[in-house]
Structure 1
């Protein structure tokens, strides 16, 4: 997948927020039943059994080991006509990622079959236990379990580059992001970025933020910080030379590092290399 497309997706999930409404494990009763999907998503993992699912006019075979992410707003018919019943881990959650809903935008498959089913079961067990807990950390553990399951789902969705190439808004953003990457060492203004998108600067800012998850200036600074980190990790160039290569003065680069990482560029390089040496020693 193109690096700029990956950037868009990762930035979306950087801002991903979800509220879990309910989580549990259930056995279905024999027979097919109509279920509506209101404003929340449904996350299912089929632990045992088999059955059938009708959604959007299509029939699907439900089997053990399948992981489902069902979008809101649909009506489904689901169940097993014979014994044994289907055993399902499930979670209902609401999710928002700004003006564009990424799951629908990418036309992601609603069913995958991961290899590591035992780990997904562990995640659901932890999620369910945390959901019914009254401990101070329960909300954090609920989100951690749910996000881990969604991460597995995404890992098995496959690359969606062909779909992304057909989305006009992402094609425009792709052009802008490529320009930013090619001009990190110079001055990058909102007006010139807006011209690339054929938009008025005032509208471009909101358009960019809805598509990428950051304002143009925030994104440019993030990319400069990422490139500076790469140069510090992979080269011996002086800090002021690194700053110049990412279009920043030395003191501003230092301010960005301290603000986002908590270390100066020099400290970051030293810590990174010390950590790398420790990892190499651990491999021997």
Structure 2
């Protein structure tokens, strides 16, 4: 690929190119193909297998398959029954008109008024990868009903021909990605199945209890009996964040809670959450929330929010 953009949770804005619900006949073989954007396949009924490059995955009801751009893939459907599935083609951000293409001519061999791009252009088009989440090529979500409804909603919204339909489509895609994130991480944000998940969970519990004081990487590493460098690497692998980023998140979440209570000054809150420098606290808060602590608190007053749920 010529360009690969790095997309994080803040810049994630999925562009859905194509959605379809299909029933594939028993014994069908979809020959090898390449795709040039990202694709999710969700199996509703039936079974088969999907080869992606040199790996072959079983496809059963409830399985979610993920194909990344420029991966050779082919599908086989079992002889027993048809396969009912949903497929979604998308990019993690809209890459611009110059990088867009119609899926009908490229994937479905349907003729249109637009000339289909050639293979060299497709191979050279840029890509955007989501760096905050590592989605496996095959997973079996436990939230079966929620995933089915998410794909059904995506398909319905793709059929919407209104000019503003892309807004709903984007919202539905964000919901699906959010469901995937819930399947892959614990409430603490640790990747499920990580080899050192228990060690990282202990570190996070320690951070939650002590974030108002000084928390350093060497301190956490010593608790885990690991070197600081190795601990830092493992923590980033397990959570997608550095130790410093995680501690800052805890502090700012507590700051927002205290601002909602409206019983302390901004300076007192900064001190309470472990960031003694008021100017630095305000700078960090604004970078995270898009407005200063005072304006955040004032906006809550304007809404009539006093720390308790209104009736």
Q: TM-score range by the shorter chain?
A: 0.5 to 0.7
CA contact (8 A) 1:20 1:143 kept: yes
Task: Check whether the contact 1:100–1:210 (CA below 8 A) recurs between aligned residues.
Answer: no
**CA drift at 1:89:** 2.9
Distance 1:120 1:71 in 2: 14
Pick aligned residue for 2:263 from 230, 233, 236: 236
Find 2:274's aligned residue among 247, 263, 270.
247
1:238 Cα deviation from its structure 2 partner: 2.1
Instruction: Report the CA distance between 1:194 and its aligned residue.
Output: 1.3
Kindly provide the CA deviation profile for residues 115-174 of structure 1, in whole angstroms up to 9, marking residues without a partner as x.
6967643423445889xxxx9x97x9876543333445677x69979x988754111111
Mark the CA change 1:207 to 1:38 in structure 2 (over 3 Å): closer, same or farther: farther
1:70 counterpart (65, 77, 84): 65
* Distance of 1:210 and 1:167 partners within structure 2: 8
Output the CA distance in 1 between the equivalents of 2:83 and 2:207: 51
Partner Cα separation in structure 2 for residue 121 and residue 164 of structure 1: 27
Q: State the distance in 2 between where 1:54 and 1:147 align.
A: 27
SS of structure 1 residue aligned to 2:145 = coil
Matching residue within 31, 44, 49 for 2:26: 31
Query: How well do the aligned residues superpose, as a CA RMSD in angstroms?
Result: 4.7
Of Structure 1 and Structure 2, the greater helix share is in: 1
Task: Return the offset for 1:220.
Answer: 1.3
Q: Distance in 1 between matches of 2:143 and 2:11?
A: 21
**If the length of structure 1 is used for normalisation, what is the TM-score?**
0.63
Unmatched 5+ residue regions in structure 1? 1-12
Using the TM superposition, give the Cα deviation of residue 199 of structure 1 relative to its aligned residue in structure 2, in angstroms: 1.7
Q: Partner of 1:198 in structure 2?
A: 225
Deviation per residue, 1:53-93 (Å, 9 max, x gap) = 57999895x5xxxx6412569987536757xx666431257
Question: Aligned runs of 1:120-269 on 2, under 5 Å?
Answer: 120-127=151-158, 144-151=171-178, 167-249=194-276, 250-269=278-297
Q: Which segment drifts farther, 179-188 or 34-43?
A: 34-43
User: Would the aligned equivalents of 2:147 and 2:176 in 1 still touch at CA under 8 Å?
Assistant: no
Q: Which moved more, 1:204-213 or 1:94-103?
A: 94-103
